[in-house]
Amino acid sequence: MADAVEDFGGTPVFVCDPAGEPVRGEQDATDLIGNAYYQGASWVAVPAERLGDDFFRLSTKVAGGIVQKFANYRMGLAVLGDIDRHVAGSTALRDFVVESNRGRQLWFLRDAEALRGKLAGE
């Protein structure tokens, strides 16, 4: 499966292939945003496995840089997949995930169906 835009109940979402290139930093985020924007998406769904461990260690500031790029371009970011092992090892990350999921910019969700529901307001 290649990266592609899918309609999630009226919201165009750029869904990233789990086997795609890793998202390691701000330049990779900018590239994703550009591709998504070009294809008319307003959200990007990135499988958690495409994000390196540094993303989940908040002290590295990798997550902050990537999330800020998405915010600057007013593009939503959904991290899809199981991040339990990362959350279990960090209270700060757990709090970040909880707060992010309350907002409208960054969500951490189990799968694409959970994203569909969240976008639909469920």
Mean pLDDT (10-residue bins), the chain, 122 residues: 91 96 96 96 98 95 97 97 96 97 97 96 76
- Whole-model pTM? 0.95
Q: Tell me phi and psi for residue 72, to 5 degrees.
A: -60, -35
Which tokens is 83 given? 């991040």
Domains of the chain, earliest start first: 4-114 (3.30.750)
| DSSP three-state, residue 71 | helix
pLDDT tens digits, one per residue of 40-74: 999 999 999 999 999 999 999 999 999 999 999 99
| DSSP three-state, residue 37 | helix
DSSP state of 57: -
Cβ distance 84 to 118 under 8 Å? no
| DSSP three-state, residue 62 | helix
DSSP state of 5: E
For the chain, the 3-state helix, strand and coil shares in percent, each to the nearest 5, are 50, 20, 30
| DSSP string of 72-108, one letter each residue | HTT-EEEEES--HHHHHT-HHHHHHHHHHHHSSSEEE
